[in-house]
Copies of this chain bind each other. A is one copy, B any other.
Amino acid sequence: MTVGAEMHALVERMYPLCRSITGNGVRRTLEIVGEYLPLWTHEVPTGTQVLDWTVPREWNIAGAHITGPDGARVVDFADSNLHVVSYSVPVSATMSLAELREHLHTLPEQPSLIPYRTSYYAPDWGFCLAHETLDALPEGQYTVHIDSTVEDGHLTYAEYVVPGAVTDEVIVSCHVCHPSLANDNLAGIAVATFLARELAERSPYYTYRFLFVPGTIGSITWLARNAERINRIKHGLVLACAGDSGPLTYKRSRRGDAGIDRVMRYVLEESGREHSIVDFSPYGYDERQFCSPGFNLGVGCLTRTPYAAYPEYHTSADNPGFVSPDALADTLATCREAFAVLDRNRRYVNTSPYGEPQLGRRGLYDSLGGRSDAKQAQLALLWVLNLSDGDHTLLDVAERSGLPFDAVAAAAQALLGAGLLKE
In the complex, chain B residues whose CB is within 8 Å of the CB of A224: 355
Chain A 111-130 interface residues, beta-carbon cutoff 8 Å to B = 115-122, 124
Determine how close the nearest CB of chain B comes to the CB of A82; give it in whole angstroms.
10
**With an 8 A cutoff between CB atoms, is A65 at the interface?**
no
**With an 8 A cutoff between CB atoms, is A313 at the interface?**
yes
Flag if A314 contacts B370 (CB, 8 Å).
Answer: yes
**With an 8 A cutoff between CB atoms, is A382 at the interface?**
yes
Per the bound structure, the CA–CA distance linking A384 and B31 in Å amounts to 39
Contact of A122 among B52, B354, B367 (CB under 8 A): B367
Total count of chain A residues near the partner, CB < 8 A: 61
Flag if B282 contacts A370 (CB, 8 Å).
Answer: no
Given contacts A368-B117, A368-B118, contact A350 B293 (CB under 8 A): yes
Flag if A52 contacts B357 (CB, 8 Å).
Answer: yes
In the complex, chain B residues whose CB is within 8 Å of the CB of A71: none
In the complex, chain B residues whose CB is within 8 Å of the CB of A383: 281-282
Determine how close the nearest CB of chain B comes to the CB of A312; give it in whole angstroms.
11
Determine how close the nearest CB of chain B comes to the CB of A318; give it in whole angstroms.
12
Chain A 373-391 interface residues, beta-carbon cutoff 8 Å to B = 374, 379, 382-383, 385-389
Most chain B CB within 10 A, of A120, A353, A355, is at: A355
A-side residues, CB < 8 A to B, are 51-53, 86, 115-122, 124, 216, 219-220, 223-224, 254, 279, 281-283, 288-289, 291-296, 308, 313-314, 350, 352-358, 360-361, 367-372, 374, 379, 382-383, 385-389, 400-401
Flag if B355 contacts A223 (CB, 8 Å).
Answer: yes
Per the bound structure, the CA–CA distance linking A295 and B86 in Å amounts to 61
Per the bound structure, the CA–CA distance linking A292 and B388 in Å amounts to 10
Residue of B whose beta carbon sits closest to that of A368: B119
Contact of A293 among B360, B374, B386 (CB under 8 A): B386
In the complex, chain B residues whose CB is within 8 Å of the CB of A296: 389
Per the bound structure, the CA–CA distance linking A129 and B368 in Å amounts to 16
In the complex, chain B residues whose CB is within 8 Å of the CB of A283: 374, 379, 382
Contact of A120 among B121, B282, B369, B401 (CB under 8 A): B369
Determine how close the nearest CB of chain B comes to the CB of A340; give it in whole angstroms.
25
Given pairs A121-B367, A281-B383, 17 additional interface contacts (CB within 8 A): A51-B355, A52-B356, A52-B357, A118-B368, A124-B367, A124-B368, A220-B356, A224-B355, A282-B356, A283-B382, A288-B386, A289-B356, A292-B353, A292-B354, A292-B356, A293-B353, A308-B372
